[in-house]
Structure 1
Amino acid sequence: MVRATVRTRVHSFAAAGEVRARADVLAGEEPLEIRLDGEEFAVAMRTPGADVDLVFGLLLAEGVIVAAADIREIDFSTGLAPDGSRDLNVARVRLAPEAGLRAAARTGRNVYTSSACGICGTNAIEGVAKASAHPVPAARPLLAPARILELPELLRAQQPAFERTGGIHGAGLFRCPDPTGAPELLAAAEDVGRHNTVDKALGRALREGLLPLGDCVLQVSSRASYELVQKASMAGVPVLSAVSAPSSAAVELGRQLGLTVIGFNRGRTFNAYTGLERIAAGPA
């Protein structure tokens, strides 16, 4: 079974024609099939590791579960590789009755998540927008600009696989008990899929009974997409901070949901596109 990182052989070429053979490390990527009460629901291309958190987070994002108790059991024992060995790439999930009803209501909207796109395969556009059981709270000063600027480096410290591969995303969930105090790390995750990192981080928080996350900031190492704003809102997270740009749809959804969307947070400056009221001492 492929692990989180995989060693390989690579040849490096220089402009003058020099060629050097050396060892390299790649981020692992494998499919995880998720079945709900015996029915196929999703196939997620992910980096193996924290798969239980991923299942919880993905089902939260899809509106199937709203609390940890909605999942009665997850069984990974039935996944088999072509050679007959166990590969742990099938998750059979047994849901509580109410969650089972929500899953049944999504019949015909099975999901395929690639490393690049977290909502590929949703059969109807109305299936993208989902109502949250953990609404984003009213805006109030949450974190000072200097503290927001610290978040990318705090997240980077939680990315050992990125240090080894240079090809894996990260997400960190930080609680902000005081606008000028140090953010408290609640959960961090790495994955080849940027959406998977968020699912893993939020899934861990859900399993630990921490939702709703109304005093938290979600920092991601990627751009801010519509999908990531949606995922944050499903957990009640009021602030999404990204090191790269947001999309227009992400900003518009942030406005609609009352969620603060921050982009280009790279340690020296950042841009706030919505929800400035949550930035302590920021402009009105």
Structure 2
Amino acid sequence: MDNQQSTILSVDSVNIRRFFKNGSQETLVDSVVVESPVEIYVKYGPIEDRKIKKIAMIMRSPGDDLALAVGFLFTAGIIHRRDDILPTQKTTYFQKIQLVEFAYHFNPIFPKDDRIFIVNAACGVCGAPNAEALQGNIPYPSWGKPKIVKREIIFGLVNETKALQPLFNKTGGSHAVCWFNNGGELMQVAEDIGRHNALDKVLGHALLKDKNIRMEGFLFFSGRAGFEMLQKAARAGINLVVAIGAPSSLAIEIAEENDITLVGFTNHNSFNVYTQAHRIQ
């Protein structure tokens, strides 16, 4: 499903009354972003003994639920590559459940305490049981040699990415994540009421298309860069993250530890580089 189709599922209309400072008011129809739950289940085990297990309940904007589920399973460290799931997967449009079928040979390792991840639109790590678990699963290094990205490409993102956010342009209530190659060509974009969901959707699309999730290039965040976003980026081997907003202290720490160039406060005139500035030319 492309971003335009996802937008249709993620927008609702409501009647509102607008008040003005001069004392007047008007009644009109407004567009709001949809926030609704989806439950993520997995089917696993050998072909003769398949089992079903609930993994998570995620508050998200509908559309791209399969990519969201696959990306979440990847960033949670439950799956690692395309071969861990069956070649054919079904997207359950308009439903509250998304099933991901694991490959018959794949033996998943689930959280030890058998917890179910509860993820709301504001929090991508709400299922973590303790501080140690927040460090997550980041076994992948950056792919190949460090790539150089020209500053002109980064400056160009400020205008270019506005047109890539139809859900935000219609509602003002969503976040976007874009994946570009090192030359600035768009590879994938996703929007969601939760920034971490948007990133999981992008990573899920990449995993569904590639045997191994080799995401050469960089990520663009339409808002701030929190630590959970950098953690997910590191999991995918990304070595450059560009954010419109500010990074957090822990995001900077994770970027430094995982050799990620972290850019923030990106606008038409300047941007800040917090780590590994040598990748910007």
Q: TM-score, normalised by structure 2?
A: 0.87
Distance in 2 of aligned mates of 1:138 and 1:205:
18
Distance in 2 of aligned mates of 1:146 and 1:99:
44
Q: Which residue of 1 aligns with 2:121?
A: 115
CA 1:165/1:96 → structure 2, altered by over 3 Å: closer, same or farther?
same
Q: Which residue of 2 aligns with 1:179?
A: none
Q: 1:87-236 maps to which residues of 2 (within 5 A)?
A: 87-96=94-103, 99-102=106-109, 104-137=110-143, 140-176=146-182, 182-209=183-210, 211-213=213-215, 215-236=216-237
* Cα displacement (A) at 1:140: 3.0
Q: Is the 8 A contact 2:256 2:275 kept in 1?
A: yes
The one-letter amino acid paired with 1:251 is I
- Specify the SS of the correspondent of 2:155: helix
Cα deviations by residue, 1:63-107 (Å, 9 ceiling, x for unpaired):
111112212264566xxxxxxxx94111122223565422x3444
Q: Is the 8 A contact 2:65 2:91 kept in 1?
A: no
Distance in 2 of aligned mates of 1:75 and 1:253:
35
CA 1:253/1:138 → structure 2, altered by over 3 Å: closer, same or farther?
farther
Q: 2:76 aligns with which of 57, 62, 84?
A: 62
Q: Which residue of 2 aligns with 1:269?
A: 270
Q: Which residue of 1 aligns with 2:46?
A: none
Distance in 1 of aligned mates of 2:264 and 2:222:
10
Q: Is the 8 A contact 2:40 2:56 kept in 1?
A: yes
Q: Is the 8 A contact 1:108 1:123 kept in 2?
A: no
- Specify the SS of the correspondent of 1:108: coil
Distance in 1 of aligned mates of 2:143 and 2:113:
31
Q: Which residue of 2 aligns with 1:6?
A: 12
Identity in percent = 31
CA 1:218/1:202 → structure 2, altered by over 3 Å: closer, same or farther?
same
Distance in 2 of aligned mates of 1:106 and 1:204:
28
1:247 and 2:248 correspond? yes
Q: 1:19-98 maps to which residues of 2 (within 5 A)?
A: 19-37=25-43, 38-72=52-86, 74=89, 87-96=94-103
CA 1:99/1:71 → structure 2, altered by over 3 Å: closer, same or farther?
same
Q: TM-score, normalised by structure 1?
A: 0.86
Q: Is the 8 A contact 1:134 1:211 kept in 2?
A: no
Q: Which residue of 2 aligns with 1:83?
A: none
Cα deviations by residue, 1:252-283 (Å, 9 ceiling, x for unpaired):
11111111111101232110000112112xxx
Distance in 1 of aligned mates of 2:105 and 2:222:
35
The one-letter amino acid paired with 2:186 is L
- Specify the SS of the correspondent of 2:179: strand
How many residue pairs align between the two structures?
A: 264
CA 1:99/1:131 → structure 2, altered by over 3 Å: closer, same or farther?
farther
Structure 2 segments unaligned to the other structure (5+ residues)? 1-7, 44-51
- Specify the SS of the correspondent of 2:135: coil
The one-letter amino acid paired with 1:116 is A
The more displaced of 54-63 and 87-96 is 87-96
Q: Is the 8 A contact 1:155 1:188 kept in 2?
A: no
CA 1:131/1:121 → structure 2, altered by over 3 Å: closer, same or farther?
closer
Q: What CA RMSD, in Å, does the superposition of the two structures yield over aligned residues?
A: 2.0
